[in-house]
A and B are shown apart, each in its own frame.
Chain A
Amino acid sequence: MSEPLVFHYEVDGSDFTSAGTASVAVKKSLRQLGLPSEVIRKLSIAMYEGEINMVIHANGGTADVLVTEDYVDIILKDSGPGIPDVEKAMQEGYSTATAEIHSLGFGAGMGLPNMKRYSDEMSIETELGVGTTIKMRIHMN
Chain B
Amino acid sequence: MKISTVKDILNAKVLCGEEELGRHVYSACGCDMMSDVLAYVKDQAVLLTGLVNPQVVRTAEMMDMVCIVFVRSKQPTEAILTLARNAGIVVMATDMRLYEACGRLYINGLQKDEVKQDV
Contact = CB atoms under 8 A, between A and B. Distances in A.
Interface stretch (A40-48, A72-80, A129-137): A40-48
B63 A45 contact: yes
A106 B34 CA distance: 6
B35 A111 contact: yes
A34 interface: no
7 contacts: A17-B55, A20-B58, A37-B64, A48-B62, A106-B33, A106-B34, A108-B35
Interface of B: 32-36, 38-39, 43, 49, 51, 53-56, 58-59, 61-64, 87
Interface residues of A, number: 26
A119 interface: no
Contact of B58 (A23, A41, A107, A114): A23
Contact of B55 (A27, A105, A113, A114): A105
Given A41-B43, A114-B38, A23 B33 contact: no
Nearest to A112: B35
A27 B35 contact: no
A110 B58 contact: no
Given A20-B55, A41-B43, A106 B35 contact: yes
Given A104-B53, A105-B33, A105-B55, A110 B64 contact: no
